[in-house]
Amino acid sequence: MRVVFMGTPDFAEASLRKLIEEGFEIPAVFTQPDRPKGRGMELSFSPVKTLALSHGISVYQPEKLRDPSVEELLRSLSPDILVVVAYGRILPDALLSVAPYGAVNVHASLLPKYRGAAPVQWAVLNGDRLTGVTTMYLAPEMDTGDVIYSEETEIGEKETSGQLFDRLKELGAALLVRTLRDIESGRAPRTPQRHEDATYVKMLDKSLSPIDWDRSPREIRKWIYGLQPWPVATMMLDGLCCRVFDAEYCDRHTDCAPGTVLSADQHGITVACAGGEALCITELQAPGKKRMSAADFLRGRHIQAGASVL
């Protein structure tokens, strides 16, 4: 099967790598234009471009997909199918029909749940116990195409978004191979989504970082894990905006207002939450310092019970 691959970040790179390993013919890769990165603002290749070039695959980086030359280029490549994984662009209708088998996509959720951006992070942030990956045919509207296959996986209670992302990209890559094989053999199913069950999620930003202590310990804990590796949960402590990386449940109950420090010792920093419950912060990072245990943070620093972390 002759595949033109379209993708940009790490999630897409895993799928491209799997297709190369499985021997698919890939005449070209499309990826986002190089962007400035780092302090020196030097142009940086996307993970997909780096991998493609290392295997001698032609790379194209059009600024505008609606340019007629892009459709001409795609047709000249004679693909059997287009594979789109985290490309970062919506394909115009004209491109969806270029290949005989159409265009397929790998999405990191169990569609129709979590259409849109950051589905991995929101599954953790919302405390879901299950998520997965879906392959689907692309449609003009984002993430609305007919489902081909879905595969579920459990979310670990202490699994961060970054850890889940790494698992889902490999799960998605394997599911993509199965999808393409079955499309080529005529065995692939095609199931319309129940659009009335659809939910949508937005990109993350730093406004989500401050912990809302007026929530349950589990909700706060999942928020901490869901915001890793970026933008990371934060709390104000002793006048410092600290990044929070880990927390443990405790049996403490209190009448104190949410956000009140109940204790700060070698076990961690225990803070009142909603419903009279509490959560113990065990790993954090002060501005300009390295990530450390709460016990190390407290060495030489006295945090009094009754202080507020709001």
pLDDT in tens, 162-181: 999 999 999 999 999 999 99
The residue among 98, 185, 197 whose CA lies nearest residue 147 is 197
Please give the average per-residue pLDDT across 217-243, as a whole number.
97
Span 129-152, pLDDT tens digits: 999 999 999 999 999 999 999 999
Please give the average per-residue pLDDT across 43-62, as a whole number.
96
Residue 33 contacts residue 130 (beta carbons within 8 Å): no
- Is residue 37's pLDDT more than 90? no
- Is residue 59's pLDDT more than 90? yes
What is the pTM for the complete model shown? Answer: 0.95
Sorted by where each starts, the structural domains of the chain and their CATH numbers stand as 2-201 (3.40.50.170), 206-298 (3.10.25.10)
**Does residue 112 have a cis peptide bond before it, meaning omega lies within 30 degrees of 0?**
yes
Please give the average per-residue pLDDT across 297-310, as a whole number.
91
Q: Place 227 in a pLDDT band, splitting at 50, 70 and 90.
A: very high
Which DSSP symbol is given to 9? S
| Rounded CA separation 233/223 (Å) | 7
Please give the average per-residue pLDDT across 254-266, as a whole number.
97
- Is residue 261's pLDDT more than 90? yes
Three-state SS at 47: helix
Structure tokens at 241: 């905006």
| Rounded CA separation 168/165 (Å) | 5
Residue 153 contacts residue 129 (beta carbons within 8 Å): no
Which DSSP symbol is given to 202? -
Please give the average per-residue pLDDT across 68-86, as a whole number.
97
Q: Place 41 in a pLDDT band, splitting at 50, 70 and 90.
A: low
| Rounded CA separation 127/123 (Å) | 6
Please name the helix (run of DSSP H) or strand (run of DSSP E) that holds residue 216, with its range, or none: none
Predicted pLDDT at 233: 98
- Cβ partners under 8 Å of residue 47, min gap 6: 8, 9, 10, 12, 13
Q: Place 43 in a pLDDT band, splitting at 50, 70 and 90.
A: confident
- Is residue 187's pLDDT more than 70? yes
Which DSSP symbol is given to 42? E
Give, in order, the Cα–Cα distances in Å from 29 to each of 17, 219, 237. 12, 41, 48
Structure tokens at 1: 């099967």
Q: Place 300 in a pLDDT band, splitting at 50, 70 and 90.
A: confident
| Rounded CA separation 82/19 (Å) | 12
Q: Where is average pLDDT lowest: 40-49, 99-108, 285-294?
A: 40-49
Three-state SS at 26: strand
